[in-house]
């Protein structure tokens, strides 16, 4: 499609849409979908030529009153994590793997039926998430329609690139919290202003037998997919460095590297725990933090007679366990970290080395 054909297609589709809205559809939905997809693909390749009248640009904004809970049609579990490079290499040596960046955003699942986007859900607890379809529709690189007509479920990450996060960095701590908060907005007109992106990293369907083939296939449908590479154990450090460099070039926020068994049957055969799938492993660069709120300071007496302050905060799930307490070690560290111990103070909590709960940051100005 050249520019003239693109302009004609936009005019044609707008005419068909107007007739449809008036109750006088001129063409079947499949014909409308096909032309919309052609327009979408042209704009993806030539963003400098996008017309303001394009149907991809004329979004009907929507406000919802609350985010509905939805039960997933497939388990959306996490991955086991390690900070030990040897453990990561040993995992890769068992079966052929693909490596990809561990994107630092909010996991989201898209469901297409008959080529149309019908649902978008957050991961939640792995079984039940929240319906965010109204916000998914205003994320520019999520297509509303695709040419593939069978059932298709695509899991991925909604992120905010470092470039798009820059105007908001004085108000928000990091791109991950920003993306997660944006997806939970009730007014999708506000979400649209956040310039979020969806990056696909898994395909839940019967197509193909290799994850790499599945990702390559959905890329042809117009989805942005995670960068990945095949790897063997002896190449792991080099591959990690290459992936980190490419993610930096893309402006993607990442917090680790993911290895997954490429063969779908092999991956599935590993089974899962209640928390994570066994066919993949995440190598973490640093400890992940979680947002919560300080509720109290308790004091405990150690065997030496020393009083130790302990922060009590709203329960938060970290690596499958509920955490609601973390030692502040001593009065000096408590004052340095918290300032005045306000009730209601915002906290960022991690598990150091994924074992010991630790307060990493506190918002002193409450």
> What is the C-alpha separation between 49 and 71, in angstroms, rounded?
40
> What is the C-alpha separation between 246 and 243, in angstroms, rounded?
5
Nearest Cα to Cα of residue 311 among 292, 291, 288, 294: 294
Residue 253 near residue 200, CB atoms below 8 Å: no
> What is the C-alpha separation between 32 and 218, in angstroms, rounded?
21
HEC assignment per residue over the chain:
CCHHHHHHHHHHHHHHHHHHHCCCCCCCHHHHHHHHHHHHHHHHHCHHHCCCCCCCCCCCCCECCCCCEEECCCCCCEEEEECCHHHHHHHHHHCCEEEEEEECCEEEEEEEECCEEEEEEECCCCCEEEECHHHHCCCCCCCCECCCCCCEEEEEEEECCHHHHHHHCCCCCCHHHHHHHHHCCCEHHHHHCCCCEEEEEEEECCCCCEHHHHHHHHHHCCCCECCCEEECHHHHHHHHHHHHHHHHHHCCCEEEEEEEECEHHHHHHCCECCCEEEEEEEEECCCCCEEEEEEEEEEEECCCCCEEEEEEEEEEEECCEEEEEEECCCHHHHHHHHCCCCCCCEEEEEEECCCEEEEEEECCCC
Pairing of strands 97-103, 229-231: antiparallel
> What is the C-alpha separation between 159 and 180, in angstroms, rounded?
8
Catalytic positions, written as ranges: 102
Residue 292 near residue 301, CB atoms below 8 Å: no
């Amino acid at each position: 499609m050249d520019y003239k054909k693109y302009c004609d297609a936009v005019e044609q589709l707008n005419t068909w849409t107007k007739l449809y809205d008036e109750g006088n559809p001129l063409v079947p939905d499949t014909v409308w979908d096909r032309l919309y997809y052609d327009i979408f693909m042209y704009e993806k390749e030539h963003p400098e030529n996008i017309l303001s009248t394009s149907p991809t640009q004329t979004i009907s904004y929507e406000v919802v009153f609350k985010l509905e809970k939805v039960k997933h049609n497939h388990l959306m579990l996490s991955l086991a994590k390690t900070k030990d490079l040897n453990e990561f290499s040993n995992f890769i040596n068992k079966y052929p793997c693909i490596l990809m960046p561990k994107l630092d955003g909010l996991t989201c699942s898209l469901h297409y039926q008959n080529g149309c986007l019908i649902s978008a859900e957050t991961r939640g607890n792995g079984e039940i998430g929240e319906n965010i379809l109204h916000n998914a529709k205003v994320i520019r690189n999520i297509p509303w329609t695709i040419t593939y007509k069978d059932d298709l479920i695509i899991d991925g990450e909604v992120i905010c690139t470092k470039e798009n996060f820059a105007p908001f960095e004085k108000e928000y701590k990091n791109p991950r919290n920003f993306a997660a908060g944006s997806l939970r907005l009730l007014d999708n007109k506000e979400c649209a202003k956040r310039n979020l992106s969806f990056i696909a990293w898994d395909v839940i369907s019967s197509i193909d037998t290799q994850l790499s083939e599945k990702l390559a296939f959905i890329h042809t449908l117009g989805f942005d997919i995670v960068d990945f590479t095949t790897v063997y154990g002896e190449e792991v450090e080099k591959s990690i460095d290459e992936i980190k460099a490419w993610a930096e070039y893309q402006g993607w926020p990442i917090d680790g590297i993911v290895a997954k068994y490429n063969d779908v049957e092999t991956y599935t055969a590993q089974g899962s725990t209640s928390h994570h799938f066994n066919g993949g492993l995440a190598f973490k660069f640093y400890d992940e933090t979680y947002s919560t709120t300080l509720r109290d300071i308790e004091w405990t007496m150690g065997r030496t007679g020393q009083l130790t302050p302990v922060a009590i905060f709203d329960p938060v799930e970290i690596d499958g366990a509920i955490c609601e307490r973390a030692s502040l070690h001593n009065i000096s560290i408590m004052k340095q970290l918290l300032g005045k111990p306000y009730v209601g103070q915002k906290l960022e909590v991690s598990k150091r080395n994924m074992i010991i709960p630790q307060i990493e940051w506190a918002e002193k100005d409450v």
